[in-house]
Chain A
Amino acid sequence: MTKAPNPSGESAFNRSAARQLALFGVAIVVGLVGLMWGLNLLASLTATAGGVPPAVDVANNAITVMLTEEPPQLDSTRSTDQVSGIVLGHVMEGLLRYDDRGELAPGMAEAWRIDEGGATFHLRADARWSDGQPVTAHDFVFAWRLGLDPENASEYAFILYPIKNAEAINQGELPVTELGARALDARTLEVEFERPIAFFDKLTAFSTYFPVREDFYRATEGRFGADADQLLYNGPFALSNWVHGQSLRLDRNPHYWDQARIRLDRINVGYITSDPNTRLNLFKDEKIVMTGLTAENLTNALEQRWHIHRHMDGSVFYLDFNHREGRLTRNLNLRKAMILAQDPGELVYKVTKTPGYLPGESLFPRFLEGVQGKFRDEHPAPTYPMDLQAARAHLEAARRELGLEAFPPLVLLAGDNPVSNIQTEYFQAVFKKNLGLDIKIDRQIFKQRLAKMTSGDFDLVLAGWGPDYNDPLTYGDLYASWNLNNRGRYSNPEYDRQVRIAQGAMDAQTRVAAFAEMQRIIHEDVVIIPNYERGVAYVTHPRVKGILRRVVGADTDYTYAWIEP
Chain B
Amino acid sequence: MAETAFTADDFRPAAVTESAQAVARPSLSYWQDAWIRLKANRRALFSLYLVIGLSLFTLVGPLIWTVDPSLQDLEQISQPPGADRDATVVAPHRPWDGAPELPLRSGLSLAASPTTQSVRLVWEPLPDAAGYRLYRNLFPAAGGQALGLPLFETFNLREPSAGEREGATPRKNQRRFEDRLDLKPRSYYYSVAALDAQGQMTGDVHRLELTVTRVITAQEAEAMGLVEDASLLNPGDRIKLRAHPLGTDYLGRDLLARLMAGARVSLFIGIAAPLLFIAFGVIYGAAAGFLGGWPDQALMRFSDFVVALPFLLFMILLRVASGVQPGESGITPMVLAMVLLSWPAAARLVRGQILQIREEGYISASRLLGGGAPYLVLRHMIPNTLGVILVTMTFAVPTAIFTEAFLSFIGMGVAPPTPSWGSMCNEGIKTMLTTPHELIFPALFISVTVLAFNLLGDGLRDALDARMRSAE
Contact = CB atoms under 8 A, between A and B. Distances in A.
Interface of A: 101-103, 295-300, 302-303, 305-310, 345-346, 348-351, 353, 355, 372-374, 377, 409, 411, 413, 416, 418, 421-422, 424-426, 428-429, 433, 439-443, 537, 542
Nearest to A102: B157
Contacts of A439: 327
A428 to B, nearest CB: 6
Contacts of A309: 150
A350 B77 contact: yes
A295 B74 CA distance: 16
Contact of A302 (B74, B139, B325, B328): B139
B114 to A, nearest CB: 14
B416 A351 contact: no
B433 A296 contact: yes
Contacts of A373: 164, 168-169
Most chain A beta-carbon neighbours within 10 Å: one of B70, B157, B182: B182
A355 B250 contact: no
A351 B249 CA distance: 11
Interface in B56-78: 70-72, 74, 77
B35 to A, nearest CB: 41
Contact of A310 (B77, B153, B433): B153
A contacts with B: majority SS: mixed
Interface in B68-126: 70-72, 74, 77, 93
B165 interface: yes
Given A296-B434, A297-B433, A425-B416, A351 B142 contact: no
A551 to B, nearest CB: 11
Interface string B419-433: 000000001001101
B429 to A, nearest CB: 10
A346 B149 contact: no
Interface string B312-327: 0000000000000111
Contact of A411 (B149, B157, B326): B326
A297 B411 CA distance: 23
B145 A307 contact: yes
Contacts of B170: 377
Interface in B130-156: 137-139, 142, 144-146, 148-151, 153
A353 B182 contact: yes
Contact of A440 (B146, B327, B431): B327
Contact of B326 (A374, A418, A440): A440
B240 interface: no
B243 to A, nearest CB: 20
B233 interface: no
The range of chain B's interface size is 35 or more
List the 10 shortest-distance A-B pairs measured between CB atoms, nearest first. A440-B327, A442-B326, A353-B182, A373-B169, A305-B146, A373-B168, A349-B180, A310-B150, A429-B72, A350-B74
Contacts of A307: 145-146
12 contacts: A101-B157, A103-B158, A295-B182, A297-B433, A310-B153, A348-B181, A349-B180, A353-B77, A372-B164, A421-B416, A424-B416, A439-B327
A428 B416 CA distance: 9
A470 to B, nearest CB: 12
Contacts of B74: 346, 350-351
Contacts of B153: 310
A345 B165 contact: no
Contacts of A443: 326, 411
A377 B169 contact: yes
Contacts of B251: 351, 422, 425-426, 429
Given A103-B158, A377-B171, 7 more contacts: A101-B158, A307-B145, A345-B93, A349-B180, A351-B77, A353-B182, A416-B411
Contacts, number: 117
B185 interface: no
B169 A299 contact: no
Contact of A425 (B150, B182, B417, B433): B417
A443 B171 CA distance: 39
B149 A308 contact: yes
Nearest to A369: B158
A322 to B, nearest CB: 14
A388 to B, nearest CB: 8
A310 B171 CA distance: 17
A382 to B, nearest CB: 13
Contacts of A416: 411
Contacts of A409: 327
B363 interface: no
A421 to B, nearest CB: 8
Contacts of A345: 93, 180
B149 A537 contact: yes
Contacts of B164: 372-373
Interface string B292-336: 000000000000000000000000000000000111100000000
B281 to A, nearest CB: 35
Interface in B156-183: 157-158, 161, 163-165, 168-171, 180-183
A424 B411 CA distance: 15
A452 to B, nearest CB: 9
Contacts of A377: 168-171
A305 B135 CA distance: 12
B327 A441 contact: yes
B141 to A, nearest CB: 8
A348 B180 CA distance: 9
Nearest to B170: A377
A349 B182 contact: yes
A310 B150 CA distance: 6
Contacts of B431: 296
A350 B149 contact: no
A298 B171 contact: no
B340 interface: no
A443 B328 CA distance: 12
Nearest to B143: A305
Contacts of A303: 138-139
Contacts of B328: 440
A299 B411 CA distance: 28
B327 A302 contact: no
Contacts of A297: 433-434
A307 B144 CA distance: 9
Nearest to A440: B327
B444 interface: no
A102 B199 CA distance: 13
A3 to B, nearest CB: 15
A66 to B, nearest CB: 20
Contact of A422 (B150, B151, B169, B250): B250
Interface string B394-411: 000000000000000001
B157 A302 contact: no
Nearest to B432: A296
A429 B70 contact: yes
A429 B417 contact: yes
Given A429-B72, A442-B327, A299 B138 contact: yes
Contacts of B272: none
A16 B146 CA distance: 65
A372 B70 CA distance: 48
Contacts of A296: 430-431, 433-434
A411 B415 CA distance: 13
B386 interface: no
A424 B417 CA distance: 10
A425 B69 CA distance: 13
A422 B146 CA distance: 30
B223 interface: yes
B417 A353 contact: no
Contacts of B427: 421
A302 B416 contact: no
Interface string B221-254: 0010000000000000000000000000011000
Nearest to A430: B72
B230 to A, nearest CB: 11
Contacts of B411: 416, 443
Nearest to A378: B168
